[in-house]
Amino acid sequence: MNAAGLRSRIIATLDADADVRRRAELELKAAEEHPGFTDALVEILQAEQEPPIRMSTVVYLKNRVSRAWSIDSNSTQQSKPIPDDEKQRFRERLIPLLASSPSKIRQQLVPILQKTLHFDFPEKWPSFVTVTVQLLNTNEVSSITAGLQCLLALCRVFPLQNWRKSVGF
């Protein structure tokens, strides 16, 4: 998927003209169904400097992950699931993206992290704890903050009661 084209559609969703916004939103909705949509959104987030564009991009990313990370067979939503290879690339890029993002973007990334952990940890994301500990062992405030947010997300997904049951307390 073309990240530059996707970026121009995201910019168009911020346009004052309602028709331009509506058209861009429909084009983004159609683009969601194509492989590489999630990858392209992450590329935009990593490169973008304009706060409104970054915020709009992370909201699209959060919505896509919420609707399509794991599709329930009883769900009435018609979203096409995110392919497994794209999920793998996303997991590898999510924590570094969290560590390098400003606070307002992190606030949107944390629910994405929680959703991913809920479905993928530990089986599909065994490196999560190792990467989190590495963040905590740095001298950079942004990395330590990201590490703490990772730990908090893990605790929210797997409350203490579940941990106690799993280890026989």
- What number is the average pLDDT over the span 115-142? 96
- How many angstroms separate the CA atoms of 144 and 97, rounded? 13
Name the residue among 50, 47, 1 with its Cα closest to residue 27: 1
Cα(60)–Cα(13) distance, rounded to whole angstroms? 11
Domains and CATH numbers, the chain: 3-167 (1.25.10)
Between the CA atoms of 117, 36, 68 and 122, what dihedral angle is there, to the nearest 10 degrees? -20
Give the mean pLDDT of the chain. 92
Token representation of residue 139? 């001298």
**pLDDT value, residue 53:** 98
Read off the pTM. Answer: 0.90
pLDDT per residue as tens digits for the range 43-86: 999 999 999 999 999 999 999 999 999 977 666 667 899 999 99
Residues 6+ apart with CB under 8 A from 27: 9
Residue 116 has pLDDT above 50, yes or no: yes
**Is pLDDT at 168 greater than 90 in this prediction?**
no
CB 109 within 8 A of CB 94: yes
